[in-house]
Amino acid sequence: MKRVITLQDISCVGKCSLTAAIPVLSCLGIETSVIPTALLSTHTAFDSFFSVDLSEEIDSISEEFHKNNISFDAIYTGYLGSYEQINEISGFIDSFRSKGCIVVIDPAMADDGELYAGLPKDFVAHMRPFTSKADVIIPNLTEACLLLGIEYKEPSLFAKEEIRQMLYHLADMGPEGVVITGIHFGEKEMGAVSYDKKQDVLSEARSIRHQGRFLGTGDIFSSVVTGCLLEGQTLSGATEHAVHFVNRCIEETEKAPDKRWYGVNFESCLGELTGYI
């Protein structure tokens, strides 16, 4: 069984980051190890939240991993709330990256043209060099613009060629694989595009476009891509599965009478993931 280590926060309430990544990866048949990088009462979209940075613990945990000869088939990072976390995890990647280990970085820091609440304005300047360490990066459209230093606009205003150039330019920054999420395809469809630099393959995956914003879908998306890559699938295949699964989670959320604004009902769909492997 393949083993991933995912480094991101644990938010006690608000389905995202580790509480989304662990079930999704486990259902994809991947042993899922974690390092919680911060502990939050809720994710940062709630009006108020309590947060403790756990960056200082990463070194001691890594040391013990080395003493126990623990290794990983993939290192997957999500939301990181401080420069210290980026620096510590950058060191973790250097120390645990081995032959055949895939490094997946989701630069989870912004959406709808805005940085997440509480992140410093110059966070992007620290995230940019960090993403160059990845084999695969999975930004949403806002994060892709921030990483490339280009102005964000409504997703429907991006031309196909513009998106293609963004994929190429992000790949020029280091990663072999780039997936950009939150792409609009006309009025009724949305999805993701991917570029596999080694294979020189561009792909797009579409599903129905739902109205409104659905929190935590980026984390679910990146977890599906990471799991499918570890199962030996291509980047375009993994992207196709992730688009399909996120759409299913949104469909289930929309059906629910107690529809919650702070996360999607991925729990109702977890069983479907076994069909992806």
Binding site for ligand PXL (CB under 6 A): 9, 11, 16-17, 40, 43-45, 79, 108, 116, 216, 218-219
Q: Nearest distance from residue 21's CB to ligand PXL, in Å?
A: 10
Residue type, 242: A
Residue 156 corresponds to which tokens in the numbers above? 């429907």
Q: Nearest distance from residue 262's CB to ligand PXL, in Å?
A: 9
Phi, psi of 12 (to 5 degrees): -60, -45
Say which residues have a Cβ less than 8 Å from residue 177's Cβ, sequence separation at least 6: 135, 136, 137, 171, 194, 195, 196, 197, 235
- Please identify, using beta-carbon distances, which residue of 12 and 70 lies nearer to ligand PXL: 12
Residue 204 corresponds to which tokens in the numbers above? 């797009």
- Please identify, using beta-carbon distances, which residue of 16 and 197 lies nearer to ligand PXL: 16
- Please identify, using beta-carbon distances, which residue of 25 and 40 lies nearer to ligand PXL: 40
- Please identify, using beta-carbon distances, which residue of 196 and 219 lies nearer to ligand PXL: 219
The string over 97-133, giving b where at least 16 C-beta atoms fall within 10 Å of a residue's C-beta and e elsewhere, is beeebbbbbbbbbbbeeebeeebeeebbebbbebbeb
Q: Nearest distance from residue 142's CB to ligand PXL, in Å?
A: 12
* H or E, element range at 145: helix 141-148
Q: Note whether 209 and 251 are within 8 A (CB).
A: no
- Please identify, using beta-carbon distances, which residue of 204 and 269 lies nearer to ligand PXL: 269
- Please identify, using beta-carbon distances, which residue of 57 and 63 lies nearer to ligand PXL: 57
- Please identify, using beta-carbon distances, which residue of 16 and 86 lies nearer to ligand PXL: 16
- Measured CA to CA, the distance from residue 95 to residue 171 in angstroms comes to 23
Place of tokens 């990845």: 134
- Measured CA to CA, the distance from residue 193 to residue 240 in angstroms comes to 9
- Measured CA to CA, the distance from residue 15 to residue 220 in angstroms comes to 9
Q: Nearest distance from residue 214's CB to ligand PXL, in Å?
A: 10
Q: Nearest distance from residue 112's CB to ligand PXL, in Å?
A: 11
Q: Nearest distance from residue 92's CB to ligand PXL, in Å?
A: 18
Q: Nearest distance from residue 40's CB to ligand PXL, in Å?
A: 5
Going by their DSSP bridges, the two strands 136-137 and 177-185 should be labelled as: parallel
